[in-house]
């Protein structure tokens, strides 16, 4: 009998150890996580660990020296004790505040615009869907992005605030976080690749457990963009292009490795300043721009101008350019929402395929004969 009890005891101990080892092995496998494919964006990553996800944002603003780690987990999920992170968000999100119009198209594409409860400077929102929510009082006005009305924000108690910053040290965001509302930095605007900006829809998809839908939507945009790019590459002509305009005798233009310049290149045109590198805008003297770009075939995005007469009134020098004389200037400044917000600033980063097709239509009008431009229109 003693021998039998001893053998049974050994079996129980071995069984318990096997179960314990199995649990450890399962935990080890789960801790490895599955990384979401990010093909163009450089500023973020998403890793799915089953019952929680980790989003890392490494480029919240230009030349950022710090990386932010965010945990997205359903209510009640116990996280590993040694997991280090900046903010935790309970998902799926039911109430969200975003701070840039570029965030709104992602919410609408994912079908979760009804979760938006607050926005700074609502007058800049162009989308009809979100404007309807604003008009119904479902999206609260939060003042200016640089100084969000924290009293209103704390009153509506969002699950998360998606913010952006030009640099670190946002006092308003610190106040919000001290009141136990997580603030998550979004760096879509830092991306230089057109498809990289659009890929941030996957970032938003993670907050709603809609990663598959976000990936599917992005895939459609990617395919549309690359198909248009391929069509443009087969055109025979490669026209020259000038951008920007003057402000107080200084001409501001995008750098040659910028988001805007990439569109021109992919539309099979030559940007006059394509060999420049940097962030922000190039500041040039008028005489230098005239020397380099006087004979440019096209002129796009001339600041806020929408008419030739207005340009002439602003500066008599503009009419020295070939593109002005031949009426080949195109602007996105005239396509506005109901309350004056420019559609380009809201939708273009999310739909680079439409921007590219606009430029192809302008530079190579015979290639897309039935296409009507979305953002860029000829000046009056």
- Residues 361, 371: contact at Cβ < 8 Å? yes
Q: How far is CA 152 from CA 143, 148, 156, in A?
A: 9, 9, 6
252 with 210, same domain? no
72 with 209, same domain? yes
CATH of the domain at 119: 3.40.50.1980
Summarised one tens digit per residue, pLDDT across range 258-302 is: 999 999 999 999 999 999 998 778 999 999 999 999 999 999 999
Q: Is residue 68 part of a domain?
A: yes
217 with 276, same domain? no
pLDDT band at 24 (very low <50, low <70, confident <90, very high): very low
- pLDDT value for 155: 96
Mean pLDDT in the chain? 91
CA torsion angle for 16, 19, 22, 26 (degrees, to 10)?
Answer: -130
- Cα torsion 363, 348, 289, 270: sign: negative
* In the block, residue with structure tokens 């003042």: 143
What the block records as the tokens of 104 is 């709104």
Domain boundary among 169, 198, 221: 221
* In the block, residue with structure tokens 């030559």: 270
pLDDT band at 46 (very low <50, low <70, confident <90, very high): very high
Instruction: Please name which of 101, 128, 112 lies closest in space to residue 213, comparing C-alpha atoms.
Output: 112
Query: Which domain range does residue 362 map to?
Result: 235-378
Summarised one tens digit per residue, pLDDT across range 185-224 is: 999 999 999 999 999 999 999 999 999 999 999 999 999 9
288 with 357, same domain? yes
What the block records as the tokens of 74 is 């359903």
175 with 288, same domain? no
Q: How many domains does the chain have?
A: 2
- pLDDT value for 31: 58
Q: Is residue 228 part of a domain?
A: no
7 pLDDT higher than 80: no
Q: Is residue 230 part of a domain?
A: no
pTM: 0.89
164 with 291, same domain? no
Q: Is residue 240 part of a domain?
A: yes
Domain boundary among 192, 221, 250: 221
Helices and strands: H and E segment counts in the chain: 14, 20
340 with 206, same domain? no
358 pLDDT higher than 50: yes
- pLDDT value for 63: 85
197 with 250, same domain? no
Q: How far is CA 201 from CA 108, 216, 349, in A?
A: 10, 10, 11
52 with 120, same domain? yes
Q: Rounded to an integer, what distance in angstroms lies between the CA atom of residue 108 and that of residue 262?
A: 26
b/e 167-177 (16+ beta carbons within 10 angstroms → b): eeebebbeebe
Average pLDDT over residues 86-105: 97
- Residues 300, 323: contact at Cβ < 8 Å? no
- Residues 296, 323: contact at Cβ < 8 Å? yes
């Amino acid at each position: 009998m003693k021998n039998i009890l001893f053998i049974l005891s050994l079996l129980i101990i071995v069984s318990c150890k096997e179960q314990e080892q199995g649990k450890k092995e399962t935990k080890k496998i789960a801790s490895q996580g599955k990384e979401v494919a990010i093909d163009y964006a450089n500023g973020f990553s998403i890793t799915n660990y089953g019952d929680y996800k980790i989003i890392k944002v490494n480029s919240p603003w230009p030349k950022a020296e710090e990386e932010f780690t965010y945990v997205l987990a359903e209510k009640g999920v116990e996280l590993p004790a040694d997991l280090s992170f900046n903010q935790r968000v309970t998902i799926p999100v039911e109430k969200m505040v975003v701070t840039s119009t570029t965030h709104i198209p992602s919410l609408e594409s994912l079908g979760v615009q009804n979760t938006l409860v607050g926005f700074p400077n609502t007058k800049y929102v162009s989308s009809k869907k979100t404007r309807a929510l604003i008009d119904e009082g479902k999206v609260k006005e939060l003042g200016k992005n640089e100084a969000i009305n924290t009293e209103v924000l704390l009153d509506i108690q969002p699950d998360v605030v998606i913010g952006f910053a030009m640099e670190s040290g946002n006092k308003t965001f610190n106040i919000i976080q001290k009141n136990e509302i997580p603030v998550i930095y979004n760096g879509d605007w830092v991306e230089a690749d057109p498809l990289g900006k659009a890929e941030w829809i996957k970032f938003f998809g993670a907050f709603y457990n809609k990663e598959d839908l976000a990936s599917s939507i992005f895939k459609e945009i990617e395919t549309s963009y690359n198909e248009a790019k391929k069509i443009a590459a087969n055109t025979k002509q490669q026209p020259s292009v000038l951008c920007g305009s003057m402000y107080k005798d200084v001409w501001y233009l995008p750098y040659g490795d910028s988001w805007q310049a990439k569109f021109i290149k992919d539309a099979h045109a030559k940007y006059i300043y394509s060999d420049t590198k940097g962030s922000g805008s190039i500041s040039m003297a008028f005489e230098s721009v005239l020397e380099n770009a006087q004979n440019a075939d096209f002129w796009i995005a001339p600041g806020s101008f929408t008419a030739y007469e207005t340009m002439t009134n602003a500066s008599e020098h503009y009419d020295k350019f070939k593109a002005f004389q031949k009426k080949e200037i195109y602007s996105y400044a005239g396509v506005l929402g109901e309350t004056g917000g420019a559609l380009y600033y809201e939708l273009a980063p999310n739909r680079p395929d439409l921007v590219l097709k606009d430029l192809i239509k302008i530079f190579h009008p015979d290639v897309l004969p039935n296409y009507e431009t979305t953002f860029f229109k000829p000046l009056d």
